[in-house]
Structure 1
Amino acid sequence: MSNIYSIASSALQAAQIGIATTGHNIANASTPGYNRQVVIQASNPAQQYSFGFVGQGTQVATVKRVYDQFLQQQVNAATSSKSELDTYASQITQVANLVADASAGLSPAVSDFFSAFSTTSSFNRTDIISKAQTLASRFQSLQGRLNEIGADTNGQITSSITTINGYAQGLAQLNDAIQKAEAGGSSNGPPNDLLDQRDQLVTQLSQIVNVNVVKQGTAYNITIGTGQPLVLGSDAQVLQATTSPTDPQRVEIAISGANGSFTQLGENAIQGGSLGGLLQFRANTLDVAQNQLGRVAIGLATQFNNQNKLGLDLNGVPGGDIFSVAQPSVAPSSLNTGTGALTASFEPTTGGNTGVNALTGSDYSVRFDGTNFKITRLSDGNATTTATFPVTVDGVVFDMPSGTPNANDSYLVRPTANGASAFSVASTDPAKIAAAAPISTSVPSTNTGTGKISAGSVDSTFVQGSVVAGTPLEFSFDSATNTLVPNAAMAAYPITATINGTATTYPAGTSVPYANGATYSFGGMTVSLSGTPGDKDVFDVSLNANPVGDLRNSNLLAGLQDKKGLIGGTASYTDAYAQMVAQIGNKTAEVQTTGAAQTALLAQATAAQQSESGVNLDEEATNLLRYQQTYQAAGKVMQIASQMFQTLLTIGG
């Protein structure tokens, strides 16, 4: 009889546990990270009699959570990727909207500035200065907004680090609690709710950074990014927001090590999640936008200044700088132990792919290995190795005029990073606009032929002062030899004659052949001669004595707008800016499209995981009814056993 009671009692207990577990599932149907639990029953060992074995009821072997590690890892990976892309998209959209704005962007200001250089008598110097100031304000405004976005990115990186540390500490504590809960072996059963909490923390951590979980015993060992250990059993490492050794305005990440020390992590060491998205955005979009905007500013200011210096201003003196130009930024690492003082400056532009024309918009790392310096272009990893300075790379002259570096000393060189913020009007005096050309040409009235000379032009090799007032450079035509004979003032210059498209350079002081329509270049000056000169006819090149009303250099200044003077002679200022806008726009579209696809992948992974581990209320209602019926049936067994016992007592009495 006691056997029947025992069997019924075990059934009642199992049904009670089943009802409690089902109720627990229903109560946590909406709890994030909860995995449904099921009761695993096993029959009690049967008792042997002479006629055979009689069952002894049931027992609850364990309460098991329905969990698939592979599906959960898929969810975590998809969560990390989606969070990274969402964060990148949110940040880059700000930059895309800024640079592409039709009214607040750079292109309208550049067009307005150059449109002020009228080729007519309406030439207005005051208007030029006003629009130059507007252009400078636009450069500074764009750079200021990019700086604000950079500061916000630094703040978000710091906040993410704090959150990661909190999760790491929580995971370490859960590892410890789970180890203690399971210390008694399988007889205690798994601490399902603690396991769920730990897995949910891993998922939340994967929203911030890529997570890799390696199970060791009952503990999770967790690495982040490209393998940096974050949690080892019950020990949690600490991340710290630190200042870059080469840029005090840049937040970087360090991880704790032995003896309380911290090791700086490279920017590529942290990947995935919102933190990875922030770091990718800063390195691949924000830095690039600042550098490319600075390249446009430096190119425009330098080329405008150079052209202005080739002309004469309203006072008849050579022009000067109209715009201020930022020099390359050089930052030695705070970890350097040597005294080497690296400098960087822009190479003079001498035509072709030199000077600002050669600027790439990249930053450069310079590292000394004890023997050689390695200059690495950070945009693509291209490296130049040199044992001595100065050396020119991409239009930038690297030099170390003083000090001695030690092995492993490093420097960060940012040629264009400050170009837009430092762009300003250096001279607000309208008279300083050098609209006139520095030279004028003439033919004396005593000439007997029909020979003519063009107004003349100068190029970047022209040196102000090489033409002296009252001492003209002069060709004299010799009809017997059909040559042009230079006078003493011109004898210092080799002369390049271009006849029918063929250029030939003649030594200084020698006669050159004459041809109708030919051009002659010397000392940075170029003139064209035409007609039929008479014997001893002369052609003079003199200092421009009447700059008022002369707009030859003004026309050249205006022409800079369309000149292909950037990116190796392939782009104008507006072209270079448009390329930057297009690059950012394309990257924005790419990130948004990839993000949408990743959202769908996360939804699929989550659906697969929930179909396995999620709570289905219909299923739980069915289970509840089944356990209720089991409970009622077990109660009936006990009732019958009780009646049988009473009957036996009555018979015995």
Structure 2
Amino acid sequence: MSALLNTAITGIRLNQTAMSVTGHNIVNANTEGYTRQSVIQSTNPATATAAGYLGTGVNIDQINRHTEKYLVDQVIRDMGVLSEADAYLVNVSQVNNLLAADQTNLANTMNGFFDAVNQAVNDPGSMLGRELLMTQSQQMVAGFKAIESRLLEQNSAVNKQLQGAADNITSLGQQIAALNKSIGDAGSGNGSPNDLLDKLDVLVQELGRYVNVSTVARDNGAQDIFVGQGQALVVGTASQTVRAIPGATDASRFDLVFQSKSESKVVNRLMTGGEVGGLLRFRQDALLPAIGSVGLLATSIAAGVNEQNKLGMNLEGSLGGNIFRDVNDPRIAASRVKSSLNNLPPNDRELNVTIESLADLQVSDYELKFDGPGKKYTLVRLSDNKVVADGLLSDAMPQSVKVDGFSLNFEGGSYQVGDRFLLKPTSSGATDMSVQIKRAEEFAFASPIRVQTGSANQGGARVLSSRVMSVDTPLFSKDGQLTPPLMVRFTSPTTYDVLNYSDPANPVHTDPPMRNLSFVPGSDNSLFPTEPGGLTLTSNGLAAGALQVGSASNGYPGEELRFQTTDPETGFIRYQQLTVVADESAASMARRLSGLNGVQATAYTETVIAGFDASDAGNDLVIQLNGKDVTTAGWLSGDPLNNIAPDPSYSGNMPDYLRDKINGSADLQAQGIYARSDGSKLTVYATSGVDLNFSLSGGGSLTVDQGADPAQTVSAADVDPQFTVGGKLQMQLAANTQVFSNRNDGIVGSTPELKANYLGIDVVMASGSGADGAPRAGDTFMIGYNRNGSADNRNGLSMLALNSKAMLGGENQTYQDVYGQLAEKVGILTSQARVNQNAGESMLRQSMDALQSVAGVNLEEEAARLIQLEQHYNASARLITLARDLFDTLLRI
């Protein structure tokens, strides 16, 4: 009897509990994060009887949560993926709309400026076009500043979102830690605190919206929480504080830090996934490149237009200046460096960044780190985390490091291990941009040089173009004039000299001389050295051009020439060597020297002859030059025995007569030899640099004035009546080149003098077609200052060409290319983000459906279960009634 009653009671208890759990499921069916529960039951141990084991009813083992950890984790991951995609898409869409909108499109802004340039240069003397350009310049600056301001506002919005996310992460961590404690306390009794575990899952899922989350379960059901790439947020009942604070080197960019009482650890790179991951990725992938590209464009346009304007002449006849604020203004250069707040005192570091090469600039900021030992530094490009420079600072200041188109200048200070600096070469370009000129007359559309053709020219050489490449040379040291004005004078159809034309009646060679330079008929010829820092060496050794009387050789002893060129950026030294053999002509040396890298050599020979005594008692002076007859026997007095009459072309002036004979010899012309006469002296030239060897016979003498000091007389009666004058060399060398010789008595000399040859201008000429198209010896072209050139627009056209000139990206991109690339990149990122968001929604929906299929409450199933439990309960109650009736029957017996 008692066994039956006890069995019935266990059934009643089980069904009461089961109905309570089912009711709990039903009423919490719409509770967020609720997990369906059920009663786990088992049979009570049976009692042994004589007839066998007799059952004793049912036992409640536990109330079970229907969940699967891998499904919960999948939901958390997918929730983080979607949250990251949402945060990224919302922000990148704003940048995309900003770059593409007509009102803020920088492509339109830049085109507007260059359209105004085009209108102004079409009529360079008109003030209307210049005033319009002034207005458009200001509007372009305003356009750059407007888009930069919007981008900086979005950067501030990202900072605020990071602050909110950090506060929420901290709050959720604290709630999870408190819940862990409650779970631990509840777990000390019997059973699992299912509702607390549901709350824990809800908090973890909420945390997953902000950052990647991974969990480690404890024995009591509590969880340790790790965020990002394994950063411990909650361990047991202890939680970390996460904050978003201004960056140590750039307060405009907030850093995420794990903060404790003793230190703050920056964890930007470690906080991935969720809203935080989306914000940080957006800032790195889209926002900072956009700010950097806008800054690069502003810097490049300001620098390019300024540089071109300085190469021109303004409406008032002066050299142009900066239109926009100088990109290397000392204040701007210093503002490009941000010192970390964590740098140790004293605060005495002085360093700045100046722009050197627009073509090499990168859309990136840089970090300068002093990690030691001593003053060892590393410069890292932040866009790809690549080390672009490293080294060790010496105690001597200033020092500079050139990399990626800018120069990092250390001016002074006590740099210490642990110092950090953020370098922003171009990011703030729009902030720094402003119109500097005050009057429209200051636009320099004219070129400051003018080339005039000599009125007596007979050849067909013509000027194709002339341009100014730099005004920072002595040629432009005085405003309103060239110092000195120049003359290009052709010495033959294939050679020319550049002369100082300060005295038109007496042009002289420049210093350094530019003589006997090569001109190629039928080709475009650049007449001046175009390499800044280029050098000229003119041979000045003891043997160069020396007179060798009684000899057919030039007297050159032979020497070893060594060329040393140093790369100023890398310090790499390139060596080249050439051996000059004894008696080698300057023409041969020039050909071989021109085969070396960075060397362009020419040669010339020159001698002056005077004091002619042409006849000795009817025995005429016979002269041969390089084996060719200049005069012949009997040319002056005749030779009746041989039926030779005097030369009728001789008019009584020996220098003029010899000049005509030399210039009329095709054989000598082929060697580049020609002559000039002033009536008393004969100057003989060899434009090729061949030796000039004169042989005398017959009777008489002459005096050699050049190549000898004092002048020497050579007579036909000498034992060896001949003399030779060797050529001289002129070498145009690459910058930072030194030349050494192993002999003091050679043609070059042991310590040759090198002089800068860069004038900052270039004139391109070509010959005409046909037999008369080549230049003639004596043709001249004068280069002077372009006075009264208000109608000239050559420099303005060069300024206009900047819009289509590939000046950026290694000289492969125009301004429009850079902006187009930025807009295209942001557009692609936006499209990808939209795809990622749609995929994230789909993935989250699937994972939540999978979890709901296990943990969700189905009201129909629960209602059916409730009916079933009611029947079980009634049956158990009937057992109790039966036991009571049996007991009453026994009492009545």
Query: Where does residue 351 of structure 1 map in the other structure?
Result: none
Tell me how far apart the structure 2 counterparts of residues 547 and 534 of structure 1 sit (CA, whole Å).
Answer: 30
Alignment of 1:474 onto 2:487: yes
Query: Where does residue 219 of structure 2 map in the other structure?
Result: 217
CA offsets per residue over residues 401-450 of structure 1, 9 Å max, x none?
Answer: 11121112111111111012222211131111000001011124344555
- 1:484 is aligned, of 493, 496, 504, to 496
Query: Where does residue 253 of structure 1 map in the other structure?
Result: 256
Query: Where does residue 44 of structure 1 map in the other structure?
Result: 44
Tell me how far apart the structure 2 counterparts of residues 77 and 590 of structure 1 sit (CA, whole Å).
Answer: 20
Query: Where does residue 345 of structure 1 map in the other structure?
Result: 353
SS at match of 1:426: coil
Tell me how far apart the structure 2 counterparts of residues 526 and 30 of structure 1 sit (CA, whole Å).
Answer: 86
Letter in 2 for 1:254: V
Tell me how far apart the structure 1 counterparts of residues 373 and 513 of structure 2 sit (CA, whole Å).
Answer: 46
Query: Where does residue 435 of structure 1 map in the other structure?
Result: 445
- Residue 112 of structure 1 and its aligned partner are, at CA, apart by 1.0
Letter in 2 for 1:275: V
Cα 1:110–1:505 change in 2 (3 A) is closer
- Residue 571 of structure 1 and its aligned partner are, at CA, apart by 0.6
Tell me how far apart the structure 2 counterparts of residues 288 and 459 of structure 1 sit (CA, whole Å).
Answer: 33
- 2:476 is aligned, of 435, 444, 465, to 465
- Correspondence 1:534-613 to 2 at 5 A: 534-613=776-855
Alignment of 1:83 onto 2:83: yes
Contact 1:296–1:573, Cα closer than 8 Å, also in 2: yes
- 2:140 is aligned, of 135, 139, 145, to 135
Contact 1:492–1:508, Cα closer than 8 Å, also in 2: no
| Farther-moved stretch of structure 1 (501-510 vs 629-638) | 501-510
Tell me how far apart the structure 2 counterparts of residues 387 and 580 of structure 1 sit (CA, whole Å).
Answer: 36
Tell me how far apart the structure 2 counterparts of residues 523 and 555 of structure 1 sit (CA, whole Å).
Answer: 19
- 2:230 is aligned, of 214, 220, 227, to 227
Tell me how far apart the structure 2 counterparts of residues 154 and 600 of structure 1 sit (CA, whole Å).
Answer: 29
TM-score by length of 2: 0.68
Tell me how far apart the structure 1 counterparts of residues 318 and 30 of structure 2 sit (CA, whole Å).
Answer: 81
SS at match of 2:384: coil
- 2:166 is aligned, of 161, 166, 174, to 161
Cα 1:570–1:461 change in 2 (3 A) is farther
Letter in 2 for 1:465: F
Query: Where does residue 527 of structure 1 map in the other structure?
Result: 764
- Residue 145 of structure 1 and its aligned partner are, at CA, apart by 0.2
Cα 1:591–1:110 change in 2 (3 A) is same
SS at match of 2:409: strand
Contact 1:112–1:131, Cα closer than 8 Å, also in 2: yes
- Residue 615 of structure 1 and its aligned partner are, at CA, apart by 1.2
SS at match of 1:248: coil
Query: Where does residue 420 of structure 1 map in the other structure?
Result: 430
- 1:121 is aligned, of 107, 116, 123, to 123
Contact 2:355–2:425, Cα closer than 8 Å, also in 1: no
SS at match of 1:431: helix
- Residue 494 of structure 1 and its aligned partner are, at CA, apart by 7.1
- Correspondence 1:441-456 to 2 at 5 A: 441-454=451-464, 456=466
- Residue 342 of structure 1 and its aligned partner are, at CA, apart by 4.9
Contact 1:140–1:422, Cα closer than 8 Å, also in 2: no
Query: Where does residue 193 of structure 2 map in the other structure?
Result: 191
Contact 1:483–1:511, Cα closer than 8 Å, also in 2: no
Tell me how far apart the structure 2 counterparts of residues 485 and 26 of structure 1 sit (CA, whole Å).
Answer: 105
Tell me how far apart the structure 1 counterparts of residues 460 and 231 of structure 2 sit (CA, whole Å).
Answer: 84
Tell me how far apart the structure 2 counterparts of residues 356 and 3 of structure 1 sit (CA, whole Å).
Answer: 98
CA offsets per residue over residues 114-158 of structure 1, 9 Å max, x none?
Answer: 011234237611111111111111100000000110111111111
Tell me how far apart the structure 1 counterparts of residues 526 and 487 of structure 2 sit (CA, whole Å).
Answer: 21
- Residue 331 of structure 1 and its aligned partner are, at CA, apart by 0.9
- Residue 347 of structure 1 and its aligned partner are, at CA, apart by 4.1
| Farther-moved stretch of structure 1 (638-647 vs 167-176) | 638-647
- Residue 466 of structure 1 and its aligned partner are, at CA, apart by 5.4
SS at match of 1:331: strand
| Farther-moved stretch of structure 1 (486-495 vs 433-442) | 486-495
Q: Tell me, which stretches of 5 or more residues in structure 1 are unaligned?
A: 349-354, 515-519
Q: Which has the larger radius of gyration?
A: 2
Contact 2:337–2:353, Cα closer than 8 Å, also in 1: no
The Cα RMSD (Å) is 2.5
CA offsets per residue over residues 378-413 of structure 1, 9 Å max, x none?
Answer: 111221211234110101111221112111211111
Cα 1:498–1:399 change in 2 (3 A) is farther
Letter in 1 for 2:149: G
SS at match of 2:73: helix
SS at match of 2:840: helix
SS at match of 2:82: helix
Tell me how far apart the structure 2 counterparts of residues 246 and 482 of structure 1 sit (CA, whole Å).
Answer: 62
SS at match of 2:432: coil
Cα 1:521–1:171 change in 2 (3 A) is closer
Tell me how far apart the structure 2 counterparts of residues 356 and 497 of structure 1 sit (CA, whole Å).
Answer: 33
Tell me how far apart the structure 2 counterparts of residues 276 and 333 of structure 1 sit (CA, whole Å).
Answer: 25
Tell me how far apart the structure 1 counterparts of residues 306 and 446 of structure 2 sit (CA, whole Å).
Answer: 14
Letter in 2 for 1:212: S
Query: Where does residue 244 of structure 2 map in the other structure?
Result: 241
Contact 1:358–1:568, Cα closer than 8 Å, also in 2: yes
Query: Where does residue 24 of structure 2 map in the other structure?
Result: 24
- Residue 469 of structure 1 and its aligned partner are, at CA, apart by 5.2
**Which structure has greater helix proportion?**
1
Cα 1:638–1:575 change in 2 (3 A) is same
- Residue 493 of structure 1 and its aligned partner are, at CA, apart by 6.1
- 1:329 is aligned, of 336, 345, 354, to 336
Tell me how far apart the structure 1 counterparts of residues 403 and 277 of structure 2 sit (CA, whole Å).
Answer: 31
Number of corresponding residues: 634
| Farther-moved stretch of structure 1 (463-472 vs 8-17) | 463-472
CA offsets per residue over residues 328-349 of structure 1, 9 Å max, x none?
Answer: 611111111255625232343x
Contact 2:159–2:244, Cα closer than 8 Å, also in 1: no
Contact 2:306–2:322, Cα closer than 8 Å, also in 1: yes
Contact 1:470–1:542, Cα closer than 8 Å, also in 2: no
TM-score by length of 1: 0.92
Tell me how far apart the structure 2 counterparts of residues 449 and 192 of structure 1 sit (CA, whole Å).
Answer: 105
Identity of aligned residues (%): 32
Contact 1:133–1:425, Cα closer than 8 Å, also in 2: yes
- Residue 250 of structure 1 and its aligned partner are, at CA, apart by 2.1
